[in-house]
């Protein structure tokens, strides 16, 4: 009987995102704190002769353009496995949202295939493959909370100080990460996050102090183009969020709440306006 494995693929939010400079290779040098939340895609892998993808979502490619397909192809080739894999992606994470939905599926395929075919790879063996697939894939593979530098692939774990209560809102449009970075004008940036201060506030479990340093410099591009993002931030603050920020290159916006009651009522209010609203917590699971 063909072996089957099911894995969670959690989304991420960025608690800060700073760009230091544009690199000669075209990427931007980052300093960002990434945090997994328990909004998860579900990935089911089954041994098969070739690589195929299916999904409950019509919004993702189900061919070799899917990052999960590329992850499988790269891993199997690297380990000289002549077999394939049947990949089912239960999509729950909004697409094109700044939540690393595609990257986390790819990361789950790397670690799932490692188990499915008993490859015996350690996470460090898989990291170069992950980085090759995309800047967010290494973090998605490692999980938890991390300070990411380089183009996002150099990771330092941040210890899990506390579980966050997060209301996440994805407006109806999607944005292209490459376009957002392409439109970033570093000379116009006035505010940068103080990442050390943010981490100190995280250690002290102080949402109020975290809020002071929760800055995402990519908002300088997206809020100009899509004022809706600024309006969601304002609304979440009015509804009692202690801190609000756009995640990654957007357009998802999240608010951190110091009480479940406030978070529930904010979620309910936002649901009147937006279809994709989620009340989630930090992701604490581990099936890797």
Q: What are the catalytic residues?
A: 12, 136
Our finding on whether 27 is near ligand C5P (CB under 6 A) is yes
* 233 within 8 A of 192, measured Cβ to Cβ: no
Of 167, 169, 166, 223, nearest in space to 191 by CA: 223
Segment interacting with ligand C5P (CB under 6 A) among 22-30, 104-112, 208-216, 261-269: 22-30
Return all residues near 252 (Cβ < 8 A) that are at least 6 apart: 13, 94, 97, 98, 99, 168, 169, 170, 171, 246
Size of the chain, expressed as the number of residues it contains: 288
Shortest Å, Cβ 248 to ligand C5P: 9
Of 135, 128, 91, nearest in space to 110 by CA: 128
Our finding on whether 135 is near ligand C5P (CB under 6 A) is yes
Segment interacting with ligand C5P (CB under 6 A) among 25-33, 196-204, 212-220, 227-235: 25-33
Q: Whole-angstrom Cα distance, residue 128 to residue 141? A: 11
Shortest Å, Cβ 131 to ligand C5P: 9
Our finding on whether 12 is near ligand C5P (CB under 6 A) is no
* 133: phi then psi, degrees, rounded to nearest 5: -80, -35
Among 11, 30, 33, 246, contact with ligand C5P (rule: CB under 6 A):
30
Q: Whole-angstrom Cα distance, residue 225 to residue 249? A: 12
Contacts with ligand C5P by CB under 6 A: the residue count is 11
Our finding on whether 274 is near ligand C5P (CB under 6 A) is no
* 115 within 8 A of 25, measured Cβ to Cβ: no
Our finding on whether 151 is near ligand C5P (CB under 6 A) is yes
Shortest Å, Cβ 236 to ligand C5P: 26
Of 34, 45, 31, 44, nearest in space to 11 by CA: 34
Our finding on whether 251 is near ligand C5P (CB under 6 A) is no
Our finding on whether 88 is near ligand C5P (CB under 6 A) is no
Sign of CA dihedral 273, 281, 17, 212: positive
Segment interacting with ligand C5P (CB under 6 A) among 105-113, 133-141, 188-196, 275-283: 133-141
Our finding on whether 79 is near ligand C5P (CB under 6 A) is no
Among 101, 112, 134, 144, contact with ligand C5P (rule: CB under 6 A):
134
Residues engaged in binding ligand C5P (CB under 6 A): 27-28, 30, 134-136, 151-152, 177-178, 181
């Amino acid at each position: 009987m063909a072996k089957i494995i099911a894995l969670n693929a959690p989304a991420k939010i960025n608690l800060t995102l700073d760009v230091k400079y544009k690199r000669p290779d075209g990427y931007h040098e980052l300093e960002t704190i990434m945090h997994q939340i328990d909004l998860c895609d579900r990935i089911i892998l089954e041994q098969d002769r070739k690589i195929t993808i299916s999904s409950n979502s019509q919004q993702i490619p189900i061919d070799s353009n899917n990052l999960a397909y590329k992850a499988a192809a790269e891993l199997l080739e690297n380990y000289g496995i002549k077999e394939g894999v049947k990949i089912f992606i239960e999509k729950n994470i909004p697409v094109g949202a700044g939540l690393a939905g595609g990257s986390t599926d790819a990361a789950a395929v790397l670690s799932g295939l490692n188990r499915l075919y008993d490859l015996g790879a350690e996470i460090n063996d898989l990291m170069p493959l992950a980085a090759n697939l995309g800047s967010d894939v290494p973090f998605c593979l490692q999980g938890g909370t991390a300070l990411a530098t380089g183009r996002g692939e150099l990771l330092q774990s941040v210890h899990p100080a506390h579980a966050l209560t997060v209301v996440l809102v994805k407006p109806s449009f999607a944005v292209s990460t490459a376009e957002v970075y392409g439109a970033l004008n570093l000379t116009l940036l006035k505010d940068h996050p103080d990442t050390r201060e943010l981490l100190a506030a995280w250690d002290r479990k102080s949402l109020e102090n975290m809020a002071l340093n929760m800055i995402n410099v990519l908002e300088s591009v997206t809020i100009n183009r899509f004022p809706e993002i600024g309006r969601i931030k304002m609304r979440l603050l009015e509804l009692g969020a202690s801190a609000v920020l756009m995640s990654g290159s957007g357009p998802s916006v999240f608010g951190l709440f110091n009480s479940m009651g406030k978070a529930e009522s904010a979620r309910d209010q936002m649901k009147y306006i937006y279809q994709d609203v989620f009340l989630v917590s930090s992701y604490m699971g581990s099936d890797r």
